[in-house]
């Protein structure tokens, strides 16, 4: 029930409110932005994890991770372990991730991810910064393009 907005599950519409509960939002903000960002007026004196790592939107993996962490925190287990058979956290995480990556659910997931990013990163609607030309990512992309060009030239 903690996964649903208002903690209400609608069996006729399982997507209604799914992964939109306040406890998930609070958990996400606590881990990725800062514990004080859960309050209406943040008081953080240091940058949060999201800022430090250039995170400007919620990812499917980060959402599945937070759902798993919140689920564990609500359980009676005293130690978090991916092999814990009581909470079965690894299976829970994978199930959430499988749903979020299911091509048949693309519209619902896109709407959900937009909702999340607006809730957690309301000021990040601006376009992402370009990749530095000297960065490892730019070099990897450049190499991949060259390999693809050679492969294409070889088939002609």
Three-state secondary structure readout of 52-98: HCCCCCCCHHHHHHHHHHHHHHHCCCCCCCCCCCCCCHHHHHHHHHH
When the pLDDT of each residue in the chain is averaged and rounded to a whole number, the result is: 81
* Judgement on whether residues 70 and 11 belong to the same structural domain of the protein: yes
Question: Could you read off the pLDDT of 119-134 as tens digits, one per residue?
Answer: 888 776 544 455 667 7
Distance CA 91, CA 64 (A): 11
pLDDT in tens, 60-100: 999 999 999 999 889 877 776 666 666 788 889 999 999 99
Same domain (yes/no): 17, 63: yes
Same domain, 140 and 121: no
Domain identity same for 80 and 96: yes
Tens digit of each residue's pLDDT (9 = 90 or more) over 14-65: 999 999 999 999 998 888 875 555 555 555 544 454 444 455 678 999 999 9
Cβ-Cβ contacts under 8 Å for 36 (sequence gap 6 or more): 42, 43, 44
Same domain, residue pair 97 and 144: no
Confidence (pTM): 0.67
Q: Is 124 within 8 Å of 57 (Cβ atoms)?
A: yes
Measured over all CA atoms, what is the biggest interatomic distance in the chain, rounded to whole angstroms?
A: 63
| Pairwise CA distance, residues 46 & 27, whole Å | 18
Same domain, 60 and 136: no
């Amino acid at each position: 029930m903690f996964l649903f907005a208002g903690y209400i599950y609608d069996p006729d519409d399982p997507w209604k409110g799914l992964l939109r509960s306040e406890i998930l939002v609070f958990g996400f903000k606590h881990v990725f932005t800062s514990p004080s960002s859960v309050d209406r007026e943040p008081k953080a004196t240091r940058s949060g994890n999201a800022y430090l790592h250039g995170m400007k939107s919620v990812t499917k993996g980060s959402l599945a991770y937070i759902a798993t962490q919140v689920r564990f925190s609500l359980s009676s287990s005293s130690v978090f372990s991916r092999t814990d058979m009581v909470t079965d956290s690894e299976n829970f995480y994978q199930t959430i991730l499988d749903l979020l990556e299911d091509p048949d659910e693309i519209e619902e997931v896109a709407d959900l991810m937009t909702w999340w990013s607006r809730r957690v990163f309301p000021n990040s609607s601006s376009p992402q910064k370009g990749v530095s030309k000297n960065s490892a990512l730019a070099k990897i992309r450049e190499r991949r393009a060259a390999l693809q060009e050679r492969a294409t030239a070889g088939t002609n």
